[in-house]
């Protein structure tokens, strides 16, 4: 058993729902207890979809367990077919139904419905949402992809005069910015002279799947969802797949080059000349100089985390001090990226572990998920969201891709925005004791120093007298270490701008401990500063 406060991913059947809800003409019959319909509101509220997800739940209750839950499932499946008349059906079990072992796949087969029925085996007690989405997509592709006569045939050369075409694989319902990423990447491909054959699962019908094999190659937008399916398509239809995810200007250019190579076309029109993105100039302009070396912590799904670390380092001039993911399936990618930046990879789905790491590293900016927003808020650190899980505010009305050249513009604005406020606060560090703008008005009893003074001091938390241990996360200065500080040094420490103060405190204490100093004086503070200053 694992104690969980927040979870980064839902159960695997939610991943299957994301595939089904993204598609058209597909229905999902889910064997699940009453109450599991909560998942509908992920789609109707968070993503604000205007129709119900195409999911029929059996919603069995305790009284049904004594009876025939298998019959209940068959009735639900039959009625769902009659009412919705889908082109294909997927059937599966949620975690509780998995325990009662009714075999939805076998039961649905026995109904002999006139459409393809794809059974899903999603082990709820081992796997999670993204795996569920990937497995569902893979099973659907396996069952439905065509044309049949192309299967296993070697790929011939493209007929002369026909434009190259590709599939876009991976976008789903409830995906972080999937809607606009698809639009942006499609735009980019059209500029390159590449046609989009099928986008799947988002917006595709089972009938569209039958055309997947007609494309010359596949563009894998979200490896978490599409990697397994793309591999199968490569084996079956000989379609190569892209490996670069076009998030950030550098990655987008690399992606364009990769597509050009796969399509056998010339991409110089897109790659040469002025950058189609404003982000490089914005980042080069002197107003951005202060971004140099800002210490960032990056966490999210592996794809977005790896992409963000690259953009942060090479396009924003930040220093990545921590990099992690909750996607265990892609731990290798994160380890490789972490090695590039010389940081320890953090591979965990334990929210408390991530919180401890952020507290320990004391970054100036956190790029993470909805959960890191909670952590950053508590620690008083600026934060921007780069990955699912996200809440309703990250399904915006406006066009906001993460991918492509426009996506790079969005990234620049989004990441710098919380820091701009940080710069304002910098002035607070210079001119203290202003009657209006005094940052130390906040409770310092939380043991985190001034950062908590910023923004909302989180009243729920401040009032929560039971949160004491959580409020002093590991890595924050401990009372024993604090006792070492002379009053004068402590006062001087407070003159350091708040967003680097935590780091300064930690470094100084480390410096003192390493040298066996019993007290930290003004001189120790500045000795440590000199010791740790970048050379």
Partner 1 sequence: MSAVIALQPVGDGCVDAPVLRERGQREVFCGLTGIIWLHRKIQDAFFLIVGSRTCAHLMQSAAGVMIFAEPRFGTAIIDERDLAGLADCNAELDHVVARLLERRPGIRMLFLVGSCPSEVIKLDLSRAAQRLNARFAPAVRVLNYSGSGIETTFTQGEDACLAALAAELPAAPAGAAPSLLVVGTLADVVEDQFARLFAQLDVGPVRFFPPRRAGELPAIGPNTRFLLAQPFLADTARALEARGAQRLAAPFPLGIEGTTAWLRAAADLFGVGAERFERVTAPGRERAAAALARHRPRLEGKRIFFFPDSQLEVPLARFLARELGMRLVEVGTPYLHRQHLAEELAWLPAGTALSEGQDVERQLDRCRAARPDLVVCGLGLANPLEAEGMTTKWAIELVFTPIHGYDQAGDLAELFTRPLVRRDLLAAA
Residue numbers at the binding site for partner 1 (CB under 8 A): 1-7, 9-11, 13-14, 33-42, 44-46, 48-52, 56-62, 64-65, 76, 79, 83, 94-96, 99-100, 123-126, 128, 374, 377-378, 391-392, 458, 460-461, 464-470
Nearest alpha carbon to residue 193 among 221, 170, 169, 166: 166
Q: Find the shortest distance in angstroms from Cβ 99 to partner 1.
A: 5
DSSP 311: I
Q: Find the shortest distance in angstroms from Cβ 528 to partner 1.
A: 32
Q: In angstroms, rounded to a whole number, what is the distance separating the alpha carbons of residues 16 and 278?
A: 37
Identify the three-state secondary structure at position 256: helix
Q: Find the shortest distance in angstroms from Cβ 140 to partner 1.
A: 22
Q: What is the dihedral of CA 300, 386, 458, 418, to 10 degrees?
A: 140
Q: Which residues are catalytic?
A: 287
Q: In angstroms, rounded to a whole number, what is the distance separating the alpha carbons of residues 226 and 512?
A: 51
Q: In angstroms, rounded to a whole number, what is the distance separating the alpha carbons of residues 63 and 60?
A: 8
Q: Which CB atom, from 466 or from 487, has the smaller least distance to partner 1?
A: 466
**Cβ contacts of 443-450, under 8 Å, gap ≥ 24:** 446/471, 446/472, 447/471, 447/472, 447/476, 447/477, 448/379, 448/380, 448/472, 448/476, 448/502, 449/494, 449/498, 449/501, 449/502, 449/505, 450/380, 450/494, 450/498, 450/501
Q: Which CB atom, from 42 or from 484, has the smaller least distance to partner 1?
A: 42
Q: Find the shortest distance in angstroms from Cβ 57 to partner 1.
A: 5
Q: Which CB atom, from 42 or from 225, has the smaller least distance to partner 1?
A: 42
Give bridge partners of residue 320 from the DSSP assignment: 296
Q: Find the shortest distance in angstroms from Cβ 339 to partner 1.
A: 30
Please state, in angstroms and as integers, the Cα–Cα distance from residue 520 to each residue in 328, 360, 489, following that order. Answer: 42, 20, 7
Q: Find the shortest distance in angstroms from Cβ 325 to partner 1.
A: 18
Identify the three-state secondary structure at position 368: strand
Q: Which CB atom, from 227 or from 374, has the smaller least distance to partner 1?
A: 374
Q: Find the shortest distance in angstroms from Cβ 49 to partner 1.
A: 7
Q: Which CB atom, from 16 or from 307, has the smaller least distance to partner 1?
A: 16
Q: In angstroms, rounded to a whole number, what is the distance separating the alpha carbons of residues 430 and 435?
A: 14
Annotate 398-456 with DSSP letters as a single string: S---SBHHHHHHHHHHHHHHHHHHHHHHHHHHHSTT-SS--GGGS-STTTT-GGGGSS-
Say if residues 164 and 265 touch (Cβ distance below 8 Å).
Answer: yes
Q: Find the shortest distance in angstroms from Cβ 61 to partner 1.
A: 5
Identify the three-state secondary structure at position 355: helix
Task: Report residue 348 as tokens.
Answer: 């965990």
Q: In angstroms, rounded to a whole number, what is the distance separating the alpha carbons of residues 220 and 474?
A: 39
Q: Which CB atom, from 50 or from 286, has the smaller least distance to partner 1?
A: 50
Q: Find the shortest distance in angstroms from Cβ 381 to partner 1.
A: 14
Q: Which CB atom, from 60 or from 138, has the smaller least distance to partner 1?
A: 60
* Burial category of 429 from C-beta neighbours within 10 Å (exposed 0-12, middle 13-18, buried 19 and up): middle
Q: 404-430 vs 249-263: helix axis angle to the nearest 10?
A: 170
Q: In angstroms, rounded to a whole number, what is the distance separating the alpha carbons of residues 471 and 460?
A: 12
Q: Which CB atom, from 56 or from 239, has the smaller least distance to partner 1?
A: 56
Q: In angstroms, rounded to a whole number, what is the distance separating the alpha carbons of residues 346 and 342?
A: 13
* Burial category of 266 from C-beta neighbours within 10 Å (exposed 0-12, middle 13-18, buried 19 and up): exposed
Q: Which CB atom, from 16 or from 241, has the smaller least distance to partner 1?
A: 16
């Amino acid at each position: 058993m694992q104690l969980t406060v927040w979870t980064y991913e839902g159960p695997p059947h939610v991943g299957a729902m994301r595939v089904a809800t993204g598609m058209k003409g597909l229905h999902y019959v889910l064997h699940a207890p009453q109450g599991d319909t909560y998942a509908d509101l992920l789609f109707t509220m968070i993503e604000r979809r205007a129709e119900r997800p195409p999911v029929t739940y059996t919603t069995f209750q305790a009284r049904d367990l004594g009876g025939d839950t298998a019959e209940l499932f068959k009735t639900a499946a039959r009625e769902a077919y009659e009412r919705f008349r889908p082109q294909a059906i997927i059937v599966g079990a949620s975690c509780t139904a998995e325990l009662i072992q009714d075999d939805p796949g076998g039961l649905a087969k026995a109904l002999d419905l006139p459409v393809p029925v794809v059974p899903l085996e999603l082990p709820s007690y081992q796997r999670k949402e993204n795996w569920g989405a990937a497995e569902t997509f893979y099973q659907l592709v396996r069952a439905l992809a065509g044309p049949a006569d192309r299967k296993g045939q070697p790929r011939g050369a493209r007929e002369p005069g026909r434009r190259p075409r590709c599939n876009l694989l991976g976008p789903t319902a409830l995906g972080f910015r999937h809607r606009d990423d698809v639009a942006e990447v499609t735009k980019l491909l059209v500029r390159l002279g590449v046609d989009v054959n099928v986008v799947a699962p988002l917006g595709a019908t089972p009938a569209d799947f039958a055309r997947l094999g007609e494309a010359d190659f596949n563009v894998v937008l979200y490896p978490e969802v599409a990697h397994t399916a793309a591999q199968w398509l490569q084996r079956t239809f000989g379609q190569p797949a892209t490996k670069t995810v076009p998030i950030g200007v550098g990655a987008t250019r690399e992606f364009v080059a990769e597509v050009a190579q796969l399509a056998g076309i010339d991409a110089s029109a897109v790659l040469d000349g002025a950058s189609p993105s404003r982000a490089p100039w914005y980042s080069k302009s002197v107003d951005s100089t202060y971004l140099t070396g800002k210490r960032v912590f990056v966490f999210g799904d592996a794809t977005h985390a790896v992409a963000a670390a690259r953009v942060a380092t090479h396009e924003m001039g930040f220093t990545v001090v921590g990099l992690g993911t909750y996607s265990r399936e892609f731990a290798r990618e994160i380890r490789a990226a972490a090695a590039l930046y010389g940081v320890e990879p953090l591979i965990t789905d334990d929210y408390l572990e991530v919180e401890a790491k952020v507290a320990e590293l004391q970054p100036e900016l956190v790029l993470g998920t909805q959960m890191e927003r909670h952590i950053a808020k508590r620690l008083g650190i600026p934060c921007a969201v780069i990955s699912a899980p996200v809440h309703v505010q990250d399904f915006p009305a406006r066009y906001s891709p993460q991918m492509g050249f426009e996506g790079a513009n969005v990234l620049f604005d989004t990441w710098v925005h919380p820091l701009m406020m940080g710069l304002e606060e910098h002035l607070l560090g210079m001119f203290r004791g202003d009657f209006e703008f005094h940052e130390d008005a906040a409770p310092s009893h939380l043991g985190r120093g001034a950062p908590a003074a910023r923004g909302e001091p989180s009243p729920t938390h401040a009032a929560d007298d039971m949160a004491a241990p959580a409020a002093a996360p590991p890595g924050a200065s401990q009372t024993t270490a604090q006792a070492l500080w002379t009053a004068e040094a402590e006062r001087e420490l407070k003159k350091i701008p708040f967003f680097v103060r935590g780091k300064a405190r930690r470094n100084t204490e480390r410096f003192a401990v390493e040298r066996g100093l019993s007290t930290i004086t003004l001189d120790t503070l500045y000795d440590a500063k000199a010791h740790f200053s970048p050379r």
